[in-house]
Every structure is written in C-alpha cells, then in structure tokens.
Amino acid sequence: MPANLNLKYLVVIIISILISLVIHEFMHAYAGYKLGDSTAKIEGRLSLNPLNHIDPMMTIALPIVTILLFGAPILAAKPVPFDPRNVKYDEFGAAIIAAAGPLSNLALAIVAALVANAVGVAHPGLGSVLSVFIALNVALFVFNLLPIPPLDGSRVLYAFAPEPLQRFMVQIEPIGLFIIFGLVLAGGLGGILVNLNHFVLNLLP
C-alpha cells in the first residue's frame, strides 16, 4: 500500500482513470469506425462521455482494490463492440482496433511526461498529479497489451498467430480474466507487470 495513499491521492487516481479509459475506449471505437464498422458509434461508444464507457466494478472499484493490494492498478471498461464482418483488413483490422486503445495510453503518458519536464520544480503539485497520470497510463498500456484473452494484446497476437493457437485463444477467452487474476494473486504476473511498467517509465522523456 503506498504511504501517501489518502483521499486526495484517490481522487487524482479516479480522475486519471476516467480520462485515460475514456480516451482508450474512444480510440477503439474511432479506429473501428475509420475501418468501416459503425457498431460502436451506433451503441454510443464513439463518445468522450465517461458514462458511456465505465463499469462501476471493473473501472472504479477494481483498480482501487488492486492498488491497495499490489501497488498497481488493474482495471477494465466496458468492451467496445465491433462487427468483424464490416472491418477492413480482416484480422489485421481487428488488431488495429485493439492496439488503438493501449497506444493512446502510451501517447498520453508521453505527452504528460513532456509537460512534467517543462513544468519542472516550479509547480510540484502539478508534477505529482502528472506523475500519477503517467504511471496509470503506462500501467494501462502494459496491462492491456498482455497477450491473454480478452485483453487487447491477445487480439493483436491473434492476427499473426497460427490457427491452432487462434483456436486455443478462442477457447480460453471466456475465462481469460480469471486466468489473469489468478496469475496476479499467485505472484508471478504482478512482478512481471511491475518490471514492465518500470521499463516503459524509464523510456519516457
């Protein structure tokens, strides 16, 4: 549990989650729309309204609990729907849609890091807020690119995987989140995520 975990810290985390996840989900929807599928737009997901994307348990409660337990957030929003029959480039189009979300989080982290460097020590309060925002977006980027269904990384892998692996990924997708939580609770995945987060953070400007 972080030593500075207080009400102000939690408010910053929640606001950062809302901003980051809304943009993440919007980019999924936008990529799908640009690739020829209107499903997300019809269902109201091509929107920057947080209420269209958040799930109270998975988006708000879960990351708070995992921060308390592991010191890093694990969270999810409502999946953005798309009809693969309408998407250009078939499986590769689906991979582009999947990658758009995590890449938006990486872009947000880079922009926030540039702003933090520009601000310097002149505004330590803003610097602290940006540090939380950066860490959260890096965590979203890393976590969502894990190649475990139903995470975004699995859809990217699926486009390049041989057919036997594709069939296996389809079979485990309904229990994918349970597999992820089990690996985290077992201690293995949590350590990998922390190390990957630190690696990406060290690459930021």
25 is catalytic: yes
The candidate with the shortest Cα–Cα distance to 45, out of 59, 31, 60, is: 31
188-203 vs 124-144: helix crossing angle, rounded to 10: 130
Give one DSSP letter per residue of the chain, joined into a string: --TT-SHHHHHHHHHHHHHHHHHHHHHHHHHHHHTT--HHHHTT-SS--GGGT--IIIIIIHHHHHHHHHSS-----PPPP--TTTSTTHHHHHHHHHHHHHHHHHHHHHHHHHHHHHHTTS-HHHHHHHHHHHHHHHHHHHHHTSSSTTSHHHHHHHHHS-HHHHHHHHHHGGGHHHHHHHHHHHTHHHHHHHHHHHHHHHH--
Spot the catalytic one: 25, 43, 91, 173.
25
Residues noted as catalytic: 25
